[in-house]
Structure formats: C-alpha cells, structure tokens
Copies of this chain bind each other. A is one copy, B any other.
Amino acid sequence: MSDGLRGAASDLRAEADSLDAKDELAAKRKEFALDDTVYLDGNSLGALPAHVPARLAEVMTHEWGKLRIRSWDESGWWTAPERIGDRIAPLVGAAPGQIVVGDSTSVNVFKALVAAVRMARGGNPADPGHSDEGRDEIVVDATTFPTDGYIAQSAARLTGCRLIPVAPADVPGVVGARTAAVLLNHADYRTGRLHDLPGLTATIKAAGALAVWDLCHTAGALPVGLDAHGVDLAVGCTYKYLNGGPGSPAYIYVREGLQDRFDSPLPGWNSHAEPFGMRPEFEAADGALRGRVGTPDILSMLALEAALDVWDGVRVDTVRAKSLALTDFFLRCVETYVPEGRVESLTPAAHAERGSQVALRCDGAGEVMKRLVEQGVVGDFRAPDVLRFGFTPLYVSFADAERAARVLARTLA
C-alpha cells in the first residue's frame, strides 16, 4: 500500500468510526448472533436474531411437546399465517388484513399470477364461467430471478396466455389491452437496481392489467409503499432482510379491494370459509386468508415471528437512509482502495435506482469471492462474473463496509 493510500485508508477508517458512532441503528447489531465476520450476504440469508433459538425451543418443548394438538388453538398456531402477515405489513407499507405468510416465494408467485389473470379477465369466484379471454398475455421481467420466470411460464401455459419477457424499463411499451398481468421484481437480484414501483404500477393499471411485484430484495431494506402506490398483488421471501431463517415461509399480499375476486389456483382447506366444516365443496374465506393453502409450517413460521421482533421501534425510513449511506460509503472505499479497472459497479449510482446491495463485475469473481470468504468477508458470487455485497442496515456497520473494500483490494492486488 502506498503512503498516499495508507493515508486515505486511515481517513476512511476514521470516517467509518464516526459514522458508526452517529448511527441510530447501531444498537440493533447486538440483537443478532454475529462474530467478527463481515457478513454482507444478508440479501441471501439474514443473520440469526439472537433470541430466536430460545423462542423456538419453547415452541418445541412446551407447545408441541406438552400441549401437542391443543396448540393449534391454545398457542395460536392456526392463525399464525395472518398474524405474522400483519407483522410484515407495516414494513412494506400495507394496512393489516392483506398479507398471509406461508409456502415458498415460487408457490406464491403462482397463486398471484393465476389469480391476477383471472381477475384481469373479469373473473369472479362466484361465477367462474365468466371471462374476458381477450387478455391473454403475461408480461414478466426478463432480468428476473429465474424462478419467477419459470413459474410465470407455467401460469401462462395453464391459463392460455402468452409470456412476454421484457426489461422492466420496456414495460410501458408492451402493456396494453391484451395484457392480463405484469410480474416485476422491485430490485434486480443481480445488479441491485431498484425499479420504479410507483410509476410502473400506474402504467400497468392504466392498461387495465394487474401489477404483481416480487419484494424479495426490498422488503426490510427500504420503503415499498404497497398501499400508497396501489399495487395489486405482491409476494416476497422472509429470509433475506427479514431474517426469518433458512427457507422461512414467504408471503402474499392481496390488495383489499381485490380480495373478494381473488380466485386462487391452490384452494386448500386453510383458505376455506369454514376449514373444520370438512365440506366437500370449496367456499373461499373472506380476505387475505384466500392466500392460504395447506397446514402452515409452524416451526419455521414461529421462528420468523420471533425474528420480526428486531423491527420493534425501527422506522423503515431510517433503515433506508442507513442503507444508502452504507452503499455510498462502500462504493467510495472500493474506488479508493481497488486499483482502477479491476472492478466495475453494476449498481446504479442514483439513489432512486439503488436497492440495498452493491454488485461488482470482476474477472474471476467466483475465485475472488472464495478468497474473500476465507478472509472473513462474506458476500456471494453470481455467474458469470458478479460479486454481490448485501448491506443489511440492522447489523452491518460502516466499519464492516470499509473492511470489506480493504480486503477486496488486497485480494485483487
């Protein structure tokens, strides 16, 4: 390291310390099980909130072990999907009663898209015969996390639609009278680019189609504003910025005004108006419950519920402000430390277009990430040449960001 660079590093470390000292979320870090690893992979798997194991031990030994079957009622297991949905609601700008938790993101994409097509065609669960087959196109983000595209293809095939993959920016040019639904990611999983949810939602709705958003990479990282922007349907996972644990259940949001027309392709007994009536004919429950399907996965679900406690007293605006400050600072550190031309940021510089991760294009990215992990800096690699660094404002510090950039520079030197 040259003398000049050494000086710059000293300055950046001092700046990191100063930023951490002023960080109003700094105390949150203590609520997570963390060590001296710089963990920048919370955009893939959030860190463990420290109190979750004790809560889950109680669920296992007391609720399952002692009360057993009685817990479905006495321990509130049965109502967990909607209760936890209401805990997630304020984090994504939704009033209560519009989100249920359960199943994987993929399965929720399927429910949302098939239901969206049915609603766009004017379908009504009370009158399944009626439909406007004129709307026969599903538009999907061509840069989407692949599972959304695969499921969209299946939803299109089963509803007799054509699938139209386009870049999010090109959506306004393709939506029209034939569009039934549009499935978009709020943030690109690879580049970290944030898409224009308010503008695109308005465009899609103006065309008479339904807007379905995948919030996997934004919920818990920045304000989403589902209600405010009139989003029709949304889905998301809970194991990234919501720290629910590996493969924790996903959720589905159905805007209140659409709920009585939400006609699920997965009408399991948990979405029945009278689940214990054991009636042979399906009759959909009222409200967001229509998004439920089968018996909820209680251990994973209650681990998630406990994990959401870390949000008590946290404002999403504060999280967003820190997220932008962290990614700005990390990019400056990278620019200062890493020799020119070795990495290129794929993440937009404009705040309005940036999620909560930084993606760097880098030759030999797979091998570079392995060496970073060996040195205690954990991000991840996405083929063919991307280093991803996720910034979770609840537990990542400015010192972490500086150290990550420094270790990256050393690795590339």
- Which A residues lie at the B interface, using CB under 8 A? 33, 35, 39, 41, 44-45, 47-48, 52-53, 56-57, 60-61, 63-66, 68-72, 77, 103-107, 110, 114, 128, 142, 145-147, 149-151, 153-154, 157-159, 165, 190, 237, 239, 245-250, 264-270, 272, 276-280, 282, 293-301, 303, 373, 378, 380, 382-383
Contact = CB atoms under 8 A, between A and B. Distances in A.
Contact of A150 (B72, B147, B267): B267
Given A265-B158, A267-B153, A269-B150, A246 B77 contact: yes
Contacts of A272: 146, 150
Nearest to A153: B282
Given A52-B60, A56-B60, A297-B249, A149 B280 contact: yes
Contacts of A39: 68
Contact of A294 (B147, B282, B294): B147
B72 A383 contact: no
Contact of A280 (B165, B237, B301): B165
Nearest to A282: B150
A128 B149 contact: no
A267 B155 CA distance: 10
Query: A165, A301, A373: which has the most chain B beta carbons within 10 Å?
Result: A301
Given A69-B378, A153-B282, A265-B154, A297 B77 contact: no
Contacts of A299: 56, 245-248, 299-300, 303
Nearest to A278: B146
Nearest to A381: B276
A48 B33 contact: no
A74 B239 CA distance: 18
The 8 A-B residue pairs whose C-beta atoms are closest, nearest first, are A104-B294, A106-B294, A106-B268, A246-B298, A147-B269, A48-B65, A33-B65, A150-B282
A104 B271 CA distance: 13
A64 B48 contact: yes
Contact of A60 (B48, B106, B293): B48
Contacts of A300: 297-300
Contacts of A157: 128
A111 B328 CA distance: 45
A303 B302 CA distance: 14
A231 to B, nearest CB: 21
Contacts of A295: 104-105, 237, 239, 246-247
A383 B39 CA distance: 52
B266 A151 contact: yes
B53 A60 contact: yes
Given A45-B68, A56-B299, A266-B110, A105 B294 contact: yes
B41 A68 contact: yes
